[in-house]
């Protein structure tokens, strides 16, 4: 398994390197068209120096995830992070454009060869026709009959221009999509409304509303002020209960106070509850985040259950924090109440199989960001395979148990979202 991962990483690196070489040659050819020659030389060197400077400046955070610890700008966008985002945009989109350029170049090459072959056959046919006519009439061939057929006479300038525009549009699409994902897609919040029908739900809970926020990931690309705006949107939904399913931090544990301050305005009649995620566990910030959240009135469920009571009827709300792992994650025993509706909060959707086996009615999770930049249009299994989890966004059902995986608010790694908008989910519980 380890050797396979190493080979994959090597293949990705070689693909990125090939893409950079391809675009370097394209830029060089473009500079050749400039006049005079000293301008061409200056432009080439200026672009090369700028490229090397940006790559070198960001090398420590470009090809590996940042280490947990102090970051240049943990709660607001600074110059270094903006430059890093631009570099991420270029590396991703240029590689995707290179992948698209390969078949386009192959098609153009084949069509060029076919065109040259067609012109050759056409010239031979015309020469043969001219010679036959000369022999039959004992007159020289018509003026220009044996003249080589130009490319323009077979392919009109208008058609060639359309082909050039089509090629530019195909290869340029990743750059446009990447800019959208960076500048707009990651902030294009969607409020998703879901009706959840549960057997055994008491009539007193019919229409009970739960708002879920997940994966806040405070960082330079998800500032404290932006999180406050999302908290206001969540409050305006007027939920009865509010839940937060982990990953409040990104890399810098010192940003905990800022993210909790931004979320401290969340209000709901039946309180606000939270569980923790891997970005609290990895930097060993679970205890400090728990203290901060509890002090702000947000109840943290760390392998704990609480009753939610309406008119004497109750449902059982459970929050867990299993040890992080890609597979085989378990729900701790002893929290299920068989005679009641049981709702589970877990940052990790991978526990759903075990939760369904135990008999939990409904589970809310996060963690996956919906793939952030999912490519399930290539293959429906590609995203789940990359995340090592069959549950990466939306609703799922197994053995009568239901799961909803929230796409989250923030980003990690690439500060981009496309095809997986950030979301706040509002659930309405209904009896089945």
For residues 204 and 202, give the distance between their C-alpha atoms in angstroms, rounded to a whole number: 5
pLDDT band at 423 (very low <50, low <70, confident <90, very high): very high
Q: Facing residues of 92 across strands? A: none
Q: 210-227: per-residue pLDDT in tens?
A: 999 999 999 999 999 999
pLDDT band at 89 (very low <50, low <70, confident <90, very high): very high
The answer to whether 242 touches 285, Cβ cutoff 8 Å, is no
Q: What is the DSSP string of 291-359?
A: HHHHHTTEEE-SSEEEEEEETTEEEEEEE--PPP-SS---PPTT---TTS-EEEE-S-GGGHHHHHHHT
For residues 360 and 401, give the distance between their C-alpha atoms in angstroms, rounded to a whole number: 6
In this prediction, residue 210 carries a pLDDT of 98
Least confident of 87-91, 118-122, 174-178, 192-196: 118-122
Does the pLDDT of residue 13 top 70, yes or no?
yes
For residues 87 and 188, give the distance between their C-alpha atoms in angstroms, rounded to a whole number: 22
For residues 84 and 88, give the distance between their C-alpha atoms in angstroms, rounded to a whole number: 6
Q: Which residue has the higher pLDDT, 106 or 203?
A: 203
Give the H/E segment covering residue 272.
strand 272-275
The CA distances from residue 112 to 18, 104, 115, 151, 328, in Å, are 24, 12, 5, 10, 55
The CA distances from residue 242 to 53, 69, 275, 298, 369, in Å, are 46, 30, 12, 9, 19
Does the pLDDT of residue 32 top 80, yes or no?
no
| Tokens standing for residue 125 | 């046919």
Q: What percent of the chain has pLDDT over 70?
A: 84
The answer to whether 248 touches 231, Cβ cutoff 8 Å, is no
In this prediction, residue 116 carries a pLDDT of 73
For residues 259 and 252, give the distance between their C-alpha atoms in angstroms, rounded to a whole number: 11
The answer to whether 272 touches 306, Cβ cutoff 8 Å, is no
Give the H/E segment covering residue 395.
strand 394-398
Rounded average pLDDT over 89-94: 91
Does the pLDDT of residue 175 top 80, yes or no?
yes
Does the pLDDT of residue 144 top 80, yes or no?
no
The answer to whether 259 touches 248, Cβ cutoff 8 Å, is yes
In this prediction, residue 129 carries a pLDDT of 73
Q: Which residue's entry shows tokens 């072959």?
A: 117
Does the pLDDT of residue 230 top 80, yes or no?
yes
| 297-322 core/surface letters (b: 16 or more CB in 10 A; e: else) | ebbbbeebbeebebeeebbbbbbbbb
In this prediction, residue 152 carries a pLDDT of 47
What is the pTM assigned to this prediction?
Answer: 0.84
Give the H/E segment covering residue 405.
strand 401-405
Q: Facing residues of 364 across strands? A: 345, 404
Least confident of 27-36, 208-217, 235-244, 353-362: 27-36
- The CA-to-CA distance between both ends of the chain, in Å, stands at 45
Instruction: Report the topology of domain 192-431.
Output: Purple Acid Phosphatase; chain A, domain 2 (3.60.21)
For residues 288 and 249, give the distance between their C-alpha atoms in angstroms, rounded to a whole number: 12
DSSP state of 407: -
Q: Which residue has the higher pLDDT, 208 or 156?
A: 208
For residues 280 and 289, give the distance between their C-alpha atoms in angstroms, rounded to a whole number: 7
Q: Half-sphere exposure of residue 43, counting CA atoms within 13 Å on the CB side? A: 15
Helix (H, G, I), strand (E, B) or coil at 193: strand
Q: Which of 72-86, 115-129, 307-321 has the highest mean pLDDT?
A: 307-321
For residues 2 and 8, give the distance between their C-alpha atoms in angstroms, rounded to a whole number: 10
| Tokens standing for residue 77 | 């966008």
Average pLDDT, the chain: 86
Does the pLDDT of residue 133 top 90, yes or no?
no
In this prediction, residue 369 carries a pLDDT of 94
Does the pLDDT of residue 386 top 80, yes or no?
no
Q: Which residue has the higher pLDDT, 1 or 246?
A: 246
Q: 309-364: per-residue pLDDT in tens?
A: 999 999 999 999 987 765 568 899 899 999 999 999 999 999 999 999 999 999 99
In this prediction, residue 114 carries a pLDDT of 72
Rounded average pLDDT over 295-310: 97
Q: Facing residues of 294 across strands? A: none
CA angle 130, 132, 135 (to 5 degrees): 110
The answer to whether 380 touches 187, Cβ cutoff 8 Å, is no
Q: Pick from 287, 286, 220, 232: which is nearest to 258 by CA? A: 220
Least confident of 26-35, 223-232, 287-296: 26-35
Q: Pick from 397, 231, 243, 213: which is nearest to 306 by CA? A: 243
Q: Where are the domains of the chain?
A: 192-431
């Amino acid at each position: 398994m380890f050797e396979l991962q190493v080979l994959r990483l090597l293949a990705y690196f070689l693909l990125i390197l090939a893409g950079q070489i391809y675009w370097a040659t394209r830029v060089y050819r473009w500079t050749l068209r400039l006049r005079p020659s000293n301008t061409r030389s200056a432009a080439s060197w200026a672009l090369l120096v700028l490229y090397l400077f940006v790559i070198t400046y960001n090398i420590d955070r470009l090809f590996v995830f940042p280490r947990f610890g102090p970051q240049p700008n943990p709660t607001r966008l600074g110059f270094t992070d903006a430059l890093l985002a631009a570099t991420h945009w270029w590396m991703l989109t240029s590689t995707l454009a290179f992948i698209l350029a390969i078949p386009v170049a192959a098609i153009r090459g084949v069509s060029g060869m076919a065109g040259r072959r067609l012109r050759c056959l056409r010239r031979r046919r015309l020469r043969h026709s001219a010679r036959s006519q000369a022999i039959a009439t004992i007159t020289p061939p018509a003026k220009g009959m044996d003249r080589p057929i130009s490319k323009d006479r077979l392919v009109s300038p208008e058609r060639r221009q359309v082909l050039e525009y089509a090629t530019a549009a195909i290869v340029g699409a990743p750059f446009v999509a990447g800019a959208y994902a960076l500048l707009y897609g990651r902030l294009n919040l969607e409020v998703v409304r879901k009706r959840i029908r549960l057997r055994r739900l008491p009539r007193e809970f019919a229409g009970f509303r739960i708002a879920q926020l997940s994966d806040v990931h405070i960082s330079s690309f998800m500032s404290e002020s932006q999180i406050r705006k999302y908290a206001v949107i969540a409050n305006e939904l007027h939920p009865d209960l509010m839940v937060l399913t982990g990953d409040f931090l990104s890399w810098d544990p010192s940003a905990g106070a800022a993210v909790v301050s931004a979320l401290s305005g969340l209000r709901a009649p039946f309180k606000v509850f939270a569980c923790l995620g891997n970005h609290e566990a990895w930097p060993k910030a679970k205890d400090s985040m728990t203290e901060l959240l509890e002090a702000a009135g947000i109840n943290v469920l760390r392998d704990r259950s609480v009753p939610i009571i309406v008119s004497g009827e109750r449902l059982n709300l459970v929050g867990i924090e299993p040890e992080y792992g890609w597979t085989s994650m378990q729900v701790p025993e002893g929290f299920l109440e068989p005679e009641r509706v049981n709702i589970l909060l877990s940052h990790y959707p991978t526990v759903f199989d075990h939760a369904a086996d135990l008999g939990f009615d409904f589970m809310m999770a996060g963690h996956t960001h919906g793939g952030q930049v999912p490519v399930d249009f290539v293959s429906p299994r590609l995203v789940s395979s990359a995340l090592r989890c069959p549950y990466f966004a939306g609703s799922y059902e197994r053995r009568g148990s239901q799961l909803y995986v929230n796409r989250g608010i923030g980003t990690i790694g690439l500060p981009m979202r496309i095809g997986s908008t950030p979301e706040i989910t509002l659930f309405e519980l209904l009896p089945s």
